[in-house]
Amino acid sequence: MNIKVIVKGKTKGALLISKNPINFLGGIDKKTGQVRDKNHDLFGKSIANKILVFPFGVGSSVGAYTIYSLKYNKCAPLAMICLKADITTASGCAISNIPLIVAQREDYESLKDGQEVSLDAIEGNIL
Amino acid sequence: MELTKEEEDALDGKYGETLALAYRVLVAIGEATGSDKLIPIEWAHLSGVNYNTIGDAGEEFLSHLSKDAKFKVKTTVNPIGFDFDTVSKYNLDEQFIQKQQSITQSYEKMGAVPSFSCIPYEIFELPKKGTHVSFAESNAAIYANSVSGLKTNKEGAFSALASAITGKSPYSDLRNDENRKPNITIQMKVENKDELTYGMLGYFAGKVAGNSVAISGTKNLDKRSCKSLCAGMGTSGRCGMFTLEKGEGEKIDFDDKEMQKVRDELNTSESGDLITLGSPQLGLEEISDLAVMLKGRSFRKRCMIFCPRAIKEQITDLGYTKEIERAGGELLYDCCICLTPLIEKSNIDAVTTNSVKGAYYLRTSNGVDANLKSLNQIVREETK
């Protein structure tokens, strides 16, 4: 796999796939991890303890602090997989020590919602 | 990215979690922006100081971080939400004041100079030309690159914070001389130019330019116009530098028609309930000009004037404070227009200002309309 590691780490868990980009500030409830943006395809679902797969983050860079709050409130994703690295998601995962990788489109599109995987964000592998 | 052994160790937590966190941020941002190494910087200027910009999550984060983080290089900070000296006049939420205090204390505990200013380039001695710094405030980054001869990217709150802790920054974009050459030229075609014209030019330039832009047809910008240009540019896009020499590549005109488009976008009211001057904050030179302009006149309505505390003593000694206050002007220190809780939709519909950046944030963050006028026009029409 052709993977770029943005924040290092290893984890195992189920994939949660978001079709839409995510605006962490405002779009996610930082106390529960629930998606609260009514127009989002994951509306009502929780991103807590999942490996969150989404194209990229949008919105204010303050959204990075929301990612930190999610971690602090123990409802953060286990890891994140993006198609494109944006500064907000990259800095949010970095301050919260959440593994983050960027996958090539082909690999990205082969990921299935609910699939259990092992993510190695050191060597850069999804098994 | 290629890291040195020491950087790699720090990233792996051998020097503690705080340094690991800071290196994770630099590496994450470096990887995301295609940088190949970290380089030393001498000065960090941080954004994310106003409680309104970072909220509870930011306040909590900084409070945790400040337990053991220490800034390694000179670190200055952006404005806070209000002026502690006069806040009691504003009926501000007690919780806001407490959270703001907590944020301020966290930064000071880590070693920041409590400058609370968005014009660090005007109130601090500058390092020698070519020095790499890490400025998160956009107008300051653009000013540093374009006027002060320093090198910085338009940093974000996290990259600048991580740079303050490590003394390093990813080597990318405007840190590389190749990328500092403008590849687009904007030809200034507007005839009568004042600071508002330059603010709108900046706003236009920010939208069309990449890393760096050349502006032709204009020379010898005064400080007010120059700051206005930087602030406008920083508001609308990612461009982090301008030069007044000719650049390579595409040429685009900024004429009356283009300026009208910007005005239509930002000028959303025909009058204001109050006047604000700032964004960026006014420095010594502008306050001195203002005091002269106000001689024998007084404001017809309330006028808030935002300044860094660093100039307070000087402008008082020089008699400017007395002159401005006599004219009905209200000087506020440590804060600025952008995201201040002092201007609220609940009691103010529209604000008259000469700041394009101020107008943008008043509308998008405070829900308050803006009425754009140059300072000359404000003095002519809003004082008697």
CA distance B259 to chain A (A): 27
Tell me what the mean pLDDT of segment A21-42 comes to: 92
Q: Give the residues of chain B that fall short of pLDDT 50.
A: none
pLDDT beyond 80 at A59: no
Domain boundaries, chain B: 5-175, 181-264, 267-382
CA distance B117 to chain A (A): 20
A60 in active site: yes
Contacts of A4 in chain B (CB under 8 A): 31
CA distance B134 to B165: 12
pLDDT band at A87 (very low <50, low <70, confident <90, very high): confident
| Structural domains in chain A (count) | 1
User: Which residues form the domain of A120?
Assistant: 3-126
- The pLDDT of residue B195 is 98
Minimal Cβ distance to B32: which of A61, A72, A90 = A90
Strands (E), chain B: 38-40, 43-46, 74-77, 134-135, 168-170, 184-188, 212-216, 241-243, 250-254, 274-277, 303-307, 329-333, 350-353, 369-372
Beta strands B43-46 and B134-135, pairing class: parallel
What is the architecture, at CATH level 2, of domain B267-382? 2-Layer Sandwich (3.30)
- Output the CA angle B257-B262-B267, nearest 5 degrees: 120
Contacts of A87 in chain B (CB under 8 A): 29, 32-33, 156, 158-159
Cross-chain Cβ contact B29/A91 below 8 Å: yes
Interval B81-105: pLDDT, tens: 999 999 999 889 999 999 999 999 9
Cross-chain Cβ contact B25/A68 below 8 Å: no
Interval B312-337: pLDDT, tens: 999 999 999 999 999 999 999 999 99
CA distance A60 to chain B (A): 10
Q: What is the CATH number of the domain that holds A110?
A: 3.50.30.10
**Residue pair A84/A16 in contact by the 8 Å Cβ criterion:** no
Looking at domain B5-175, what is its CATH homologous superfamily? Aconitase, domain 3 (3.30.499.10)
Best mutation target among A8, A62, A86 (most B Cβ atoms within 10 Å) is: A62
Q: In chain B, which among 284-343 make CB contacts under 8 A with chain A?
A: none
Q: Fold match between B5-175 and B267-382?
A: yes
